[in-house]
Chain A
């Protein structure tokens, strides 16, 4: 609770951008660079854009959120909290898509159009390390009774 209140008073005293500007920047890099057909250069761009967007969000400013009355039904605040989660997920998505140099399911890379079971038949698990950078860890897939093979129609 204290942590949350500290966060709110930080957001109120910050002098950075409005949430809408950050949300727009996030949407733009995602729809330009992490869309249906993905490439190395674009994904690299998205990863670095989103790092900056995280930084910008750190100094996001929204007014009048430090009293309980002002926080009641404050959808501007709720949507800012949602934006915080959206940026985290966007960063992880771009990071993992950049790491996975293959195409699999809905993840399609024009520079690596085929599936690569030798290197990427694993769950990708992204964590944030102590210094705040994203790191990739993997976990083997339990295949059960099914043998992995390319999906052909």
Chain B
């Protein structure tokens, strides 16, 4: 690896399981193409082995490394250190507060790293995703069809497949929980579960019986009707899933009946 002279300062949210949040500053020597996730590895390897953050694939496909970078929830592996400051943020993001940011934070040059919003923080940048998974399981996002020897396939036309393709790209990273409704209502199913529900409701291969089960579940007060149409989810999603549009589609196509 070619070493460059440049260094990047990071201001990182730290919290022990029972402690108070603090912010720590680290300076990382840059390498070409370095992502924020790689910078976190450098900090863990060289400065503090106890720095906690989730990761797995390093290539924006596993959805483990969602975190708030400069007040904008993103995937750490998909965010280049050099572009973190210059990339334009989506408009109208909610105010995200995790702790008292040191007054000497140099907003122009130092990259601020915080956990995902609207989830309980376990340690440092690791959040408790259990409610997220609970709501995900609750909408039963799977096929229930019985297979038999005579007709093992469920056919789908290419057009039908394409119409739900963008929803299939969801990697369950939890970034869309930036939604202001998730902030005030801990029972709100959240954009992920609802987008996943629509991915199955709109799938031509789903049985009518299972479709009505899912529609019932997402008709609940804390599901589709709770959405306030901020569309923050559409703007922060790293995979262009457009969960807000999916929720809007459920509302228009299934709840008016």
- Give the interface of A toward B (CB within 8 A): 18-20, 62-64, 69-70, 72-77, 79-80
Contact = CB atoms under 8 A, between A and B. Distances in A.
B43 to A, nearest CB: 10
A73 B126 contact: yes
Nearest to B46: A20
B151 interface: no
Contact of A76 (B18, B49, B123): B49
Instruction: Assign chain B's interface to a size class.
Output: 10 to 19
Interface of B: 16-18, 44-46, 48-53, 55, 122-124, 126
Contact of A18 (B16, B45, B53): B45
A72 B123 contact: yes
A76 B46 contact: no
Contact of B49 (A63, A69, A72): A63
13 contacts: A19-B49, A64-B50, A69-B17, A72-B17, A73-B122, A73-B123, A73-B124, A74-B52, A75-B53, A76-B44, A76-B49, A77-B49, A79-B44
Contacts of B16: 69
Contacts of A18: 45-46
A80 B52 CA distance: 14
Contacts of A63: 49-50
B145 to A, nearest CB: 39
Contacts of B55: 75
A74 B49 contact: yes
A62 B44 CA distance: 11
Contacts of B45: 18-20, 76
A64 B48 CA distance: 10
Contacts of B48: 76
B243 to A, nearest CB: 28
B21 to A, nearest CB: 15
B49 A62 contact: yes
B192 to A, nearest CB: 23
Contacts of A64: 49-50
A130 to B, nearest CB: 33
A72 B52 CA distance: 9
A88 to B, nearest CB: 21
Contacts of A19: 45, 49
B44 A75 contact: yes
Nearest to B19: A69
B52 A75 contact: yes
A73 B45 CA distance: 15
A76 B53 CA distance: 10
Nearest to A24: B45
Contacts of B52: 73-75
Given A19-B45, A20-B45, A69-B17, 18 more contacts: A18-B45, A20-B46, A63-B49, A64-B49, A69-B18, A70-B50, A72-B123, A73-B123, A74-B49, A74-B50, A75-B52, A75-B53, A75-B55, A76-B45, A76-B48, A77-B49, A79-B44, A80-B49
